[in-house]
Homo-oligomer: A and B are copies of this chain.
């Protein structure tokens, strides 16, 4: 298979998955049971990946059936059962323990051409010097992005992120280190969706232009609607008495120490706090527990992106400090280091 396109589903035509490296490693390791974990948008590749691996190695394949939201979300139960786990679509994040050492990360590179969208976005830039960031799906296009900008006379700056990201210019929904402390007045985000460029704008406080290579849309990010929603959620939590502090079981989202700090802060302010440990945050959890509000120490997108799903306000840890009157000034985006 290698770089040849997988053909059995429309989502596959968008992505290029380099399975050869994984097949090599499976053969060399002598793994007998191989786990396969793919994010939802690529779940349909699981059948083809299984077929390839079972035909080209002697391993039995077990596919992870639970949703997967990132490299933070490695299926540890699968790691306990399999000898090796192929994790598709995300770049390595965690390392060092016995279970994570079983994981092979295979990127899924989006085939979408970026040039046209970046050309178009360049027309919206107001600075001569911009920070460039993108997500793992488009990282292999970074040279092209820089090239297009330089040809338009824009100085494109790319800097490495922290330990949570692997490559210069890479941002995650929960980490914008690659966009921080840069001597620029403006950012260009290349990728799909509104969440990441909003994150760049909120994390840096700078003007951010977004270029979507799939739709071809470009825009200047407006943080005001999101900020209105967030301060609205904080206001709705004012009278909350019973507050659930959500802690994720997902290895890269687990912030138990932060959750304890949040619970202690709440108790000092007379709130009834309870630590809730869970794999998936869902509205039913809060309804069934009878919580008046929640503070989510798991993936920051849960509070910011899924607001409408919940019947009670779900705040990020920095927003909870605003609620308690402990934090004033600019809005602080929740990030995971």
Contacts and interface: CB of A to CB of B under 8 A. Distances in A.
Of residues A63, A67, A246, A247, which shows the largest number of chain B Cβ atoms within 10 Å of its Cβ? A63
A104 interface: no
Contacts of A64: 276-278
A179 B215 CA distance: 61
A148 B288 CA distance: 36
Given A40-B288, A249-B77, A278 B47 contact: no
Given A9-B290, A290-B9, A272 B81 contact: no
Contacts of A279: 66, 77, 279
Nearest to A75: B277
A5 interface: no
A332 B246 CA distance: 42
B77 A43 contact: no
A242 interface: yes
A280 B66 contact: yes
A62 interface: yes
A67 B9 CA distance: 33
Given A47-B289, A288-B44, A290-B47, A65 B272 contact: no
A311 to B, nearest CB: 15
B274 A66 contact: no
A43 B288 contact: yes
A333 interface: no
A275 interface: yes
B60 A274 contact: no
Nearest to A80: B249
A125 interface: no
Contacts of A275: 60-63
Q: Which 10 pairs between the two chains have the least Cβ-Cβ distance?
A: A65-B278, A43-B288, A65-B276, A77-B249, A44-B290, A62-B275, A65-B285, A63-B276, A66-B278, A62-B277
Given A64-B278, A279-B279, 15 more contacts: A9-B290, A40-B288, A44-B288, A47-B242, A47-B274, A47-B290, A60-B260, A61-B275, A63-B274, A63-B275, A63-B276, A63-B277, A64-B277, A65-B278, A65-B289
